[in-house]
Amino acid sequence: MKCILMNKYTEVLKAEYDSATSAFTKVYEVMNINYAPYILKNIYNQENINDDAFRTNLSEWFKGRGIPSWRDRLDLLLYRLNISAPYELLDKAFGLSLSDQYWLKPDGSNINYDDINFFDNDFDYAEFMEASLSVNSPKIYNENSLKTPNNTTDGMLKKAWVIEGETRYLIKGGYKNETLQPFNEVLASEICKRLGFNYVDYSLYTYKDMVVSKCPCFITKDTELVPCHQIISGRKRHNSSADYENYIKILEENGIENAREKLENMYILDFLILNDDRHLNNFGIIRDVNSLKWLDVAPIFDSGQSLNIEYYDEEEMHISGNGRLFYEVKPFDEIIKLVKNIKRIDITKLDGLVEWFDNLLHQYQNITNYSDARINKLCILLNSQINKLKDIIEKANR
């Protein structure tokens, strides 16, 4: 299929797209590289737009918009959607997403962005949501149920976009038989609210006897999320804190105010809840797709992989104690040292947080079947991290 990659109203490039392999096999013309996915800018060569690097990165970027092969219960989801592979969904709704404004326009068509984007236009979601999250669900035979932004949702967790009023919400479940992730998202929101961090607000929602998290879309039809991975792709890799410092420098050079403090806030949160999955695609910046201006660091989101107790008994509780700092896996006690002004944190704002979390977990105990012992261990772990941060702040104030 000959098509034009669009960024909202702007023509980016004309290419041949093969639906069978979800790959771009030929690039005919690049109209405006500035409006291309950010990851393509560093490797763009006007003299050879069909070199392997450019086409490969274009294809990988597009595939990366889809449901990944490691999505929980993927085989069951594909069976229910009546398809054989997730890439079959990529071009069913022109490749549209609720994370950016890119889409594929068939060459020669007069399709208009305003008529098809999912920010303004409703979409069927009930069947896709049931196929993704329900324990028992029939196959989907309604073709319109496959024309949704749910085709372009990455990550390992079961999830679905839904509409309530005019707002688009993302619903996410737990991983396999683990159900703690939604509670961790809500805990992260509560911590951010108390400490004054910029964050995506997660709440709990019960869907067919399971607890899931729910958050509003933080992208508008005039903005896009550019993940850290795209920003630093192709740049020199240090495998040390130098990668973190270089990223802050890039943000500052592009006009992001208080970039260091905002990144520090994310790592302070990760320290408190022991989030071990702060990978390069779940933080980044918000960019205006019309002016290409970098607006701000993205609000903190996707903090579910936290409070992971590997095992516990009456005498002992074992945790890994390691988080992620760009390309490194490091102890949280080392990552927190990156915060240059920890004294700015008012730790008293977290007073009562452990009791709040304990009440939250007990409130849904009849659904999760968490034992009192497990809830107690989770609260002990959270309390321990708060006290650790308190000690760090007190030492800094001496």
Measure the CA–CA gap between 111 and 14, rounded to whole angstroms.
15
Q: Give the CB-side neighbour count of residue 184, counting CA atoms within 13 A.
A: 28
Assessment of whether the complete model's pTM goes beyond 0.85: yes
Q: Tell me what pLDDT residue 141 has.
A: 61
Specify the 3-state DSSP secondary structure of 378.
helix
Q: What is the pLDDT of residues 162-174, one digit of tens each?
A: 999 999 999 999 8
Best CA proximity match to 146, nearest among 68, 94, 93, 99? 93
Q: Given this model, what pLDDT does residue 384 score?
A: 97
Q: pLDDT tens, 312-341? A: 776 778 898 999 999 999 999 999 999 999
Phi and psi at residue 348, to the nearest 5°: -65, -20
Cβ neighbours for 350, distance < 8 A, ≥ 6 positions apart? 191, 194, 195, 272, 386
More confident residue, 227 or 316: 227
For residue 49, count other CB atoms closer than 10 A to its CB. 18
What count of residues does the chain have? 398
Starting at the edge strand found earlier in the chain, the sheet holding 223-227 runs: 223-227, 284-288, 294-297
Mean pLDDT for 252-280 is 98
**Contact between residue 90 and residue 149 where contact means Cβ atoms under 8 Å apart:** no
Counting residues of the chain whose pLDDT is more than 90, the rounded percentage is 76
CB 89 within 8 A of CB 151: yes
**Closest alpha carbon to 338 in 274, 262, 252, 237:** 262
For residue 63, give both structure tokens: 């595939």
Integer Cα distance of 70 and 78 in angstroms: 12
* β-pair type (322-325, 328-331): antiparallel
Amino acid letter, residue 179:
T
The predicted-structure confidence for 5-48, as pLDDT tens digits, reads as follows 999 999 999 999 998 888 999 999 999 999 999 999 878 877 77
pLDDT in tens, 107-126: 999 999 999 999 999 999 98
Separation of alpha carbons 113 and 131, rounded Å: 28
Report domain 223-397's class: mainly alpha
- CA separation for the pair 93, 330 (Å, rounded): 40
The rounded radius of gyration (Å) of the Cα atoms in the chain is: 22
Query: In this structure, are residues 215 and 199 in contact, taking their beta carbons and an 8 Å threshold?
Result: no
Query: Is 281 within 8 Å of 227 (Cβ atoms)?
Result: yes
